[in-house]
Amino acid sequence: MSTTEYFADDRRLEHERLMSQSRVFDPLTRRLFDQAGLHEGMRVLDLGSGAGNVALLASEYVGPSGSVVGVERDPEAVEHAQEWCTLSGIENIEFRTGDVQTLDSMTERFDAVVGRLILMYLPDPVDALRRAASLLRPDGILCVHEADMTDWTTADSEHWHTARRWVLDAFERVGTRIRMGPSLYSAFLEAGLPEPRMTLEAEVGGGDQAPVFGWANAVIAAAPLLERLGIATAEQVDAETLTARLTDDMVACNAIVSSPLMYGAYCRV
């Protein structure tokens, strides 16, 4: 098996969740790409392209003279992402079905390899980085964005504590690296790569600015897995009221909510 078990079972719901979370993560990833040096005319490989959000960001940097290839293990996700690009008139992105851990299907070379929230799901992220770097042209850029999933909110409430416990328990039981972000520096060095430059950002706020929906969506996407593992039932998750309950508790506590802490790492190879 080349990947750990992914926490979301329902592809349609997961596609919607990824599209929603892009509202939080895309500005952070955009700033990371700025610092890493993505530019017009590049050919970019996007690891674990999912709904296609990161590939779309990269396509904006490389422009019509460049191109992006997204590789994703789920054929249904590849089909959805390609249809989305076609309907949107985006012509410089191609999505392919492939194994991100091995990248065996990739034979060409790229000017940059990027990825967001993908290494955390792989059984051997160090080897994945090494293989990704081997696909770069000389002086190519390797740039990844990974999370620390442990910090959620300052709200001291049972709903928040329970939701956090459910998700982190499920992640741990299926082998997800919930603190892949802080591990990026050592992973780059263990892969034989140059010392990476690092960034750290999160979306954070209270009231109307709080990214409550991101955590609620994660719990809802994980609900089938939570039930299968005996962690929580669908009735306990109560997807229809979850966001409202978490929001009410945050407001009652005068609390803030943070997105996952997003660690960026990039280097030239």
* Domain boundaries of the chain, sorted by first residue: 11-268
What gap in Å lies between CA 223 and CA 231, rounded to an integer? 9
CATH of 11-268, one of 3.40.1190.20, 3.40.50.150, 3.40.630.10, 3.30.930.10: 3.40.50.150
pLDDT computed for residue 1 by the predictor: 34
Q: What is the pLDDT along the chain (269 residues), one digit of tens a residue?
A: 344 554 445 555 555 655 667 778 999 999 999 999 999 999 999 999 988 999 999 999 999 999 999 999 999 989 988 888 888 888 899 999 999 999 998 989 999 999 999 999 999 999 999 999 999 999 999 999 999 999 999 999 999 999 999 999 999 999 999 999 999 999 999 999 999 999 999 999 999 899 999 899 889 989 999 999 999 999 999 999 999 999 999 999 999 999 999 999 999 99
Which residues lie across from 12 on neighbouring strands? none
CB 201 within 8 A of CB 24: no
Amino acid at 39: H
Q: Which long-range contacts (CB under 8 A, 24 or more apart) does 186-194 make?
A: 187/119, 187/125, 187/126, 187/129, 188/129, 188/142, 188/265, 188/267, 190/126, 191/126, 191/127, 191/129, 191/130, 191/133, 192/130, 193/129, 193/130, 193/133, 193/142, 193/267, 193/269, 194/267, 194/268, 194/269
pLDDT computed for residue 2 by the predictor: 42
Q: Is the pTM of this model over 0.95?
A: no
pLDDT computed for residue 86 by the predictor: 86
> What are the structure tokens assigned to 173, written together?
């039981």
